[in-house]
Structures are given as structure tokens and as C-alpha cells.
Structure 1
Amino acid sequence: MSFPPTDAGSSLRPIAILAARTVPHLSRQRHRWIVPLLLALSLSLPMTAQADQDDHLIAELQALRGSGDTSAAAVQRLRAIEAQTAGDASYPLRREILRADLVVLDESRGYEDTLAAMQSLRELADVNGDADTVNLMDINRIFMSHVDDDINRYIDQLNEVRARLSSESSPDVMEALERSYGNMYFDAGNFDSALRHQLAALEWAEKLPVGSVRARLFRLGTIAELYNAMQLPDSALDYVDRAFALGGDELPLQNRISLLMARAMALMQGNQLPEADLALSRAETLSLDDPSVFTAMRLGTARIKLLLAMSSPDDAIVAINRLEEQAKAQENSYYLAKSWVLRGEALMQLDRVEEGRALMQRALDFFESKGQMIDVLDGLERQVDTLRAEGLPVQALEAMERQQTLWVHLFRNERARTLAELEAHQSARELENRVSALSAENRAQQASLRAERLSKALALVLALLAALASAFLVFAIRRARRERDKLSDAARLDTLTGAFSRYQFQQRAVREARRTDASTGVLLLDIDHFKAINDRHGHEAGDAVLKTLVTRVRGVVAADAEIYRWGGEEFLVVMNPQTTQTVERDVVRLVAGIEDEPLRWHDTDIRLRVSGGFVRCPLADGWPASLDDAIRWADAALYLAKNEGRQRIEQIELTAAGIDSLRGQTPVDFVQLQDWKRRDLLQTRALGRGALVNAADDHHD
């Protein structure tokens, strides 16, 4: 490859002529500097022209890369630029050619060829001391070659790259790192970590010097899909709208199709099925201009999900057959397994429950073997919902238990991965601080030769810089923890105890159609003197107490009872319909089960004592069966139990006068509850052995 002739060489002739004509008229002593100056100027002109040519080509290559264009015209322009480039071209130009090559030829190049091209660019960057491009290629290689069933290995490799980075790393490197973390955590089902990294990647994408809009569009679309997986459709729709606003009329076809699919799935979760059908139909129309079979399979999967949500299993099976044929033709095991999950759900809707469950289980086993945990979670969620809709609560509970076990497993993996990631981040900061400290020490030693006072000043500056760096690190860690806690609010399970979260109660318990007989039990429990346990034995002991309480409650109540962590040391237990005597007996047994045995913590016994408020839902015949109202009554009863000396369960029962007078009302606090009791509108009764002990103490007094 060679450049075409330029006019730079011809520009030397007038300068040489000028020098020849000027020299004879100059004094040798006074003007002898002019000739060297003219000669230097004549030599610099070709280099200036070459630099201008390089800058022009680099700008064109960056525009080509930033557009993401893979058309034949883009390939032709890339080849033309390569033909203009000499073999000894500057490193920046050669680097931009290789980076543009990776983008423009992305769809036409195979996997092995892409890895080879990335390795060539890495080697070129390494020879030229370009650490940023070396790190960028390592990150892209790790993500491109990762497999979900060995995700920890590849996350460890990302951590190794992260340990090499410094605060001076380019936005390209940081965006690629956060994006790769986010996508890999997403595939592994670690939604909190995935969302944290995807949001960080979105921030870095705004700082990219090339391709910022394109990168932000992909991040916004991925975040929308992530919120759909987290069952937060409103947030998903918000990010879809942001992407459409950013792309406007110039939004690329593939982005537009993906965003319309994300919108359809979010609307489907919100039960806005006609609107979801409209969005998906628009995506299907646009896909007629997209020859990608992968796009067709994604759209086919989304259409099947919508048909199943519309309770159209026969139409869904027709679409499933088409998806299965496409997957087999492409030898795509992932979408083949997807078709099994969806066919199983359709068969269950057609009352072929066992056949459908077996097919879904086959797909779930495949996804789990491949480490594709997001698909396992999605399949279990679909299995639970379908079994409930078919009136099979026992089978639904089995699927929920497997789902809960998987959530606990994923949380433990996520915690370990986050710790490893933080260690890599800390190693990078320590290395950077160590290099800075050594450089500063060297400067201080040199300065000490000139003045002792300057040496002391430099030492003081270094100390201040170290303090600022430490303060910044503490701030960053605290901010990360706040973000993690904020995201944990959306988790469906309490990660410490394994009980359902309050969010899960709002999503599941409130919207479920519960039976309205008067024997459904609502019990609010609070651990007595929990703060004292924390203060005396430490927070780890407090955590152990919380987990032990949940374990003991589960060991006593019926299998279909539900326990939620309501806040701090408060827990809500919803006992499903039984006879009145059975429910109240279970409450007494539950308290005994909690308090009988102390918790052994190291060499100390910690005794568990609880207070609680218990009501039946509804409180009286003919009253509306509102769980929200029942919980407010139980909460007031809980505070009454606290006020009466703790270690007791206060049960509220309405009198005949109260049934008529208090209809539609709930107590503001236990003071109002006591007032209604004095007015003979209700009665309270203490349950549990603690109440008997307190009563005996009062009698002796």
C-alpha cells in the first residue's frame, strides 16, 4: 500500500530557488542563519502534509466506526482507505484502521477471524506502549469468548484487567469494562450487579469521543430488558422512551426493533395486552427489512409469550413450531430450548399439565447446565404462574421452592463476585497509589538536596494527597453500598433470612384473590430487645437471630403459610384458611417453637422472645377481606403487646357493638385501640406462654 503523490515535494523548489538567489547577497557573518532556516523549513513541509493527510483519514475512520455501519459501501470505503495507507504509516492511523475493521466487518467475519483481528490490534498497541488499547482488546476478547456455565472464570479475568487500570484509563476502556460486567452478570441472573454496571456503562458512554450515541442506545435498550427481567415494567418503559428520544428519526433499524420488543414485553407485564400487541406488530413490520434470522427468532419468542399471555395456546403452538424449525435450521440450541419452555407452558394451558411440566423441566435442565440462569428464572416464573392459573397450588409451591433456592444460590454467588471485583478495584488503586508515592518520594529526595524546607513541604503535600485519596475511596465504597441497598429494595426475597420481602407481598399477596373466610390468620411478630442483642453480641449475632426466627416459624406453620420480612426485626406471617381453633393453636405453637430453645452463639445462649399482634381476616362476618386493613389491626395489637410488657401475642376480637360501629375503620395506634377496648367495641386476648408468665407476675405483685 502507498500514498498517491502529493504536492509537498514540489513546494521545495521555490524555497531552494529563493535560498540560491538570496545567499550571494547576504553577509556571511550577519545572515548565515538564514540558509539553515530555509533548509529546515523545506524539510518540514512534507512531514506537515503527511500529518494533515493522517488526521483526515483518522477522522474519517472514526466516523465510520462510530456509525456502526456494516454495509457494502462501508466495507468499500474502508478498503479504499487501506489502499491509501503506506506500510510505515503512523501508529494512530494503523490503530484506527484496525478498530474500524473490527466494526465494519463484524457481520461478515467469523468468530476465529474476529479474535485474530483483535489479537493483531493488541500486539500493535503493546509494541507502541498503548496500554488503553491493550486493555480494551483484552476486555472485548474476554466478553466475546465467555461461556455462561463457567462465568466465574471470565469474571475473574475481567477483575485481572480491572486491577491494571488507573484513574487515567480512557472512557472507551471503562465503558467496555462496565458493559462486559453488566452483560455477564445479566446472563448469570445477578440482576442487582448487572443493573449497577449497566448504569455505570451508560455514564461512560456519554463521555466516549467516538460512537457515543450508538453506545448509549445499546445501553438504554439493555437496561430496559434488565428491568423487564426484574419485573419492573414502568422502569423498562422509561428507558425505552429515553432511547427513542435520543435516537429520534435516525434510530438504527436493529435498535428500533429491539426497543419495540422491550416495550411490548413491559406492556405485557403490566397487562396492557392490546398495546403490547401493537408495539410487537410494529417491530415485526420493521423486521421485514432485516434479514437476520436471529432477529426473527427473538421476535418469534416475544410473539409466543404474548399469545400465551392472551390465553391463546393453540395459536402459540403454531408459532412455536415455526420457532423450533428456525432453531434447528440454525443449529441454535438456545432457541430450541426456548421453544421447549414455551411449548410446555402452552400444553399446560391446554390441560396437558404433566406433559407440559416435563418439557419445561427438560428446558430448565439445559439452561442450568449452560449457566443461563436468567432463562431458568424466567422458566420457573412461567411454571409457577401457569400452575396457579390451572388451580394446582401444590405443584406451584414446589416450583416456588425451587425458585427460592435458586435465588439464594444466585445471591451467594453475586456476593462472592462483588467481593472479588472490589478486591480487584482496590488492587488497582493500591498500585496507582504506590507508583505515585514512589515518584513523589524520588522528587522529594532530589528536592532535599536543594533545600530542607522544600522537602518538608513536599512530604506534607504527599500526606494530604494520600488522605484525599483515602477519603475518595471511602466515599466511593459508601456510594456503591447505597446503590446496592437501593437496588435490593426491588428484590423479591429478603437476602438475609430467605423470607419473602415486603415488595414481594405487594406484588403477590395483595393482588392474589384470597379466600374470605374468617379463619385466615394475620400475625405481626417483633423480636423483643433486638437492639440489646445487637449491642451485646454484635450484628452477626443479630443476623443469626433473624435467620433462626424464620427457620423456626417455617418449622411450625403449615406448608402453605407465607412469611415476609416486614422491616428490621418485624415479620409478617399469613396463615391460610383453617378452622378458628387451628389457627389460634398454631399461633401458640409458633411462639413456643420460637422461644423453647435458646440460640447458641459461640459460647453464649441467646434466648429469643417475641411480641406480636394477631387478627383473623376478615375481622367479622360481612366485613371486606382486606389484608391491608388486617395488617393495620395486627400492627396496633403488636404495639399493645409491647406496651403490656412484651413476650406475648395480643389477639383482637370485635364485640357485637364493635362490628357495627367500627366497620371500615382501622386503629391509628394502640392508644386508640385501648380506647375502643374501654368502650367495649373490641376485646383483646393474650396468647403464648409469655403472656401467662406476665399474668402470674402481676398476680404475685
Structure 2
Amino acid sequence: MSRVISASIKAARSPVGMRLAGYLSVLLLSIAGLSACQPETKPPAKTSQVAADETVMAMLERIARNSGIQQAKHEEELRILQPKLNPGSPELMELLLLRGGMSLRSNQEDVFESSLKVLGDWPEGAGKNNAKLAHQLLLARRFLAKGQLAPAKKEMTGFAAYTEANTNITMLLRGHALMSGLMAESGDLDGALSHINIALKLAEKAQKSWRRADLLATLADLYVQAQQVDRAEQTIVDALHEAERDPDPSMMYSIQTMQGIIYAEQGKQKLARKAKLAAVESARTSGAEDLLALALANLADLSLKQGDYATALSLSEEALPLAQSAKDMSTESLARANSGLAKIGLKRVAEGKRDVLASIAFDEKRGANSSAAGTWQELGSYLERAGDLEAAVHAYHQHRKLIDVVLRDDTRKAVLESQAAYDDERRAKDIELLNRDMSLKAEQLRERDLRLKLWAALGGCVLLSGVLLGLAYQRIRNSNRALARSNAALRVQGERDPLTGLSNRRHFQAAIKRLADQGKLSGTVFLIDIDHFKRINDSYGHAAGDSVLVEIAKRLRSTLRDEDLVVRWGGEEFLIVVDTRDADYAGVLAQRLLDSIGCEAVSHGQQSIPITASIGFASFPVAPQSLALSWERAIDLVDTVMYMAKAHGRNKAYGIQAIAADDEASLLLLAARMEAAWHEGSIKLLALHGPEQASASS
């Protein structure tokens, strides 16, 4: 597995973009230092005191520029420097932003609160507005560090009021960089690009090449997220040219790493390897052990993907002691995982499995569930290729259990944000209706006044007023209907997957109640996983992967009845619940699903992408004892048998026909050792095969 960390700050990066905390931290920490406000002109001779101030600013910029590496050393430098700076000085403000940002990463809550308090109590004067924005930035970053996007966006409310007329360029640049990150994480890539381009213009005024290079690298990352990979390639070339004007090894590492991501996204594996090798050399030049350890671990990941297990093992073993020396536990875990996978690839299965499990245990202990889930999945894939099918099924099952935790957390956050958006729109509609009601009342008052004054001469106005009131009442009724339609649309939108149009987990939670009497499921459950979906994304691009998901959703809908529940369960997985307990019908339907999915390749532009799927299914209550299970237990059971289909070659469907158990506890014990129980005869399974032509091409 691979984790890419910017030279500016350690932050996990997915193949198509930085994750939230790292993405925004890069923007904020790497754009620190008051000297960004000043042109790079030769200063005139000054007094010794001014020279000392210049040394302070140079030191702050050096730390800002390299804030992602040797953090302990930088934190110590800032701690010693802080008492020497004057209260209310620009240098102190810069230092507080740096210390506050670093403390979020090292979980030093007392340092963060102290930095926040000094900024909040900033003395009145020319720097007060800058301190106010700095205070907002730190608060927003704390929310982001906790994965709380909505409060972070709320903290930046009113940012538009900060302009070059009332805020210094560096602070304004930070604000636009943060807003770009917030927009990107919210899915508003157009807004993100707008803010990052404003930040680039401000960086031009600051006349600091390394800042423009860093922002251009971020812009390239946004283009990758927007699937504009060619523009990303040109932008990273521009970033490289800008960095070469004021070269720095850690910055070069960051840009070369981004190059590797872009080339890998384009399928240019040789260029991707060349860029990662260059990143390793830049990391060596920087002298930072943690940076070099990560560069080597990432290069090891590339060797794993290319099947060069001996090189991958050598690189991982070189990275491991460096990460341990730098006390970089995340990279240590990564190096250990890659080392273990390489050993499995070299047929040293037991030894490799121990290394990977040690890495997973570390990630789970520190709460990095997403990383641990990914490692479980990779372990399952390597064990499957090594022929250890039972261990592969166990690894896949552990991946599913852990990814469910991650997805539940993500879903909960998404639901809260969706509800917040819904509440905001509802309040806006209520205010609109109130305003209309007030206008109506004002109209009524004016009408009554007019009637009293002109009663005798203008009696006809009474009729006219009635007509006006009727029209106004009709308008209010229409507005209420529109509001009701809007609310209904919001509810539908919140329960639909935006890509495929299928139900999502939120809708499933509501719909499953009709099929689960007193919490026990009655019906047939199918769990479908698209085979080698990651390989499709890597080989054809993520836009092609989206096309595959959309086409699979169409094929599922065409195969099933309108009343059947079809859910995009997460990533490349789909869940189907059918209101029937007929085991024979379940087997027939499973075969139809296999055939429908694998019948023909999916077209994406000029590309033809062969598709197959692995399916697990079972009818509930479970035969022969009619054991009833909760829907959660039922899905876990189907999940286990689906991973058996994957471990036994994919393009298959495995269905549970019977389990020799008298109660739920016995059933769960047998399910935990599904493969062995099947061979013993305690569990009866139906095995089905997909289309031969699709299987061969996949």
C-alpha cells in the first residue's frame, strides 16, 4: 500500500487527491511566514535590532517551508523563540499560527489553546484584523482535524469581508487556500479552483517562488480530483519550473511525488517510477529521515504493483529503521505492511502475514480504521494469489467489518451535513413565506385605510380588494406547495446515490423495517462485489470506473422487479433484498444476476471494459431450522459467503442453502469457519458460475 506525504506536511494522499486533514494542512502550514508579504528585493542596511528581526522572519519562513518534516525539532525552535518576541508583533502572530498548526498534528491541546488565546486577546491596532482571521483559521483547522467539515465551514462565515485593503497578503492567502480546501472537500471543485487561483495571484504579489510552487502542486491535485489529468500534468510541470527558481529538496520531493500520482493515474508506469525515484533522491538530499523513509516506502509500493517483490522488500527494509529512528509511526506501519506483502509475494507466507498483521494492529490501535481496512483488503488479495484461501476469506471478512465502521462514520457525517443543508433551506423558505405574509398584511391594512376614506365613492374597491386577497392567498398556497415539493425532493436526494441513482444506506435503514419483523429479517439477501474494480480504476481511469458502476446499476434494475430493494452498499458493492424465502428462486436469480453483469463488456468512450462480479446470497430465516436473524447478522453472513466466491476465483455466486445449527449462537460459530464447515458438511452451499467468456477476459 502507498501513502504520499507532501514535503510541507505529513498527510495521507489517495491516488486521486489528498485526504481532508492533509490537504488543508498543506495549504495552511506551507503558506506561513510574514515575509511572504514583502517583495524579494535586496534590503537596505539596517540597525542590529532590525537585522535580528530579519533573522527571526527568515527562521519562521524556513520552518514554514519545511514544517512537515523534522517537526519535533521545529516545535522546539518555536517554543524557545516565543518568549523573546514582543506582544502584538507580526513575528509573534506568524509563530502562533505555526505552533498552533503543528500542535494539532502532535495532539498538544495545551499548546493549541495557548496559541488560540493569545490571538483572541490580540491588542487593538493595525494587526487586529489579521489576528481575528488567524484565530478563525486555527479554529477551522481544529474542526477539520476532527473530520467535522460543517463546523469548519461555519467558522469561515464572513471570510468575504477580508480584502487586501484590511488584511495582509499572507493572511488573505491562507484564507483563500483554506476556502479552496473546504470547497474541494464539499464536492464544489469549481469553487475550490476559484479560491486557489486567487491564492496564486496573491502569491505572485508576495514574490516567493516556493509558495507559488506549493500552490501549483495543490492546483494539480484539484485537477486530478476533477478528472482533468492532462491539465494536472501541465500544472505540475509549471510547479516544477517554479520550484527550480528557488530549489528546496523537500519541495522538490512534494512535486515529484505529485508527478508520480499523475503519471500513475494516466497509466504511465515508467514515468511514475522515474518520478518516485527522483522523489527518493530529493528526500535523501533533504537529510530528513522521516521524509526518506516515506519516499522509500512509496517506491516499495510501486514495486509491489509491478510484481517486483524482491525490490519491494529491499526498499521496505531500508525504510523501516529510518521511520523508527524518526519516530514516524505511520510510515513505520506502512513499511512493515509493504514488507509483509512482498514476503507473501516471495512465498514466505507465514512470515509476511505476521508483518502485515502487526501493521494492521498498529493502525487499528491509533484509530486509523481506513488505512487498516485497506491493508486487510490487500492482505486478502495477496493470500488469495498465494493459495491460502481460508486466510484470504478471513482477511476479506475483516476488511468488510472494518470498512463498515468507516462507512457508517462517513454516512453519519454526510447525513448530518445533508440535514443541516435541509434545515438551512427550510429556514430560508420559512423566512420567504413570513415576508410574503407580512406583505399581505401590509396590503390588507392599506386596503382597509383606503376603504374607510373612499367608502362612499369607491365601493367597488371592496370587490377589487377581495380579488387581490384571493390572488395573494393563491400565491401563498402555491409557495407552500413548492416548499413541500422541495422538502420531498430533499428527502429523496438524501436517500439516493448521486452516481447510480440507486438507494443508499440511509434509504435502506428505513426500507428494511418492512422486511424485518421485530428486528428479524424475512427474505433473500444478495451482496454483489465488482471483481478487480481497483484494477479497472488504475487501468482505465476513475471516469471509466464510474461508467462501470452506472452500467452495473442499470443491469441490476433490468434484472430485478420494481418492488425489489437495490442499494449501492459502498464503493463497488451492491446489496439486494428480495421479498421471498424460496431458495430455488434465489439460486435462479443469482445466476441471472451473474449473467446480466458479465454478459458483455462495458463501453467507455473507445474503451471496452470486461466486467464480472462475485455474489453471496442466502434466504432468511435459515433452513432447515428456520433460524431468524437480525438484518445486520444476515448481511454479515452473506458477506462471508460472498468473499468465499472471490477467494475461489471470482465470477461466481455462492449461496447458503442450509446450516446444521439449532440456534443462532451455533449458526454464528459455523459461519465463522465457513470454508471448513462447508467441507465438513455442516453448511450446504450452492456454487454458480458466471459467463465463461467474461471470466476469461477478466
TM-score (ref. length: structure 1)? 0.49
Greater C-alpha radius of gyration: 1
Larger RCO, structures 1/2 (Cα 8 Å, 6+ apart): 2
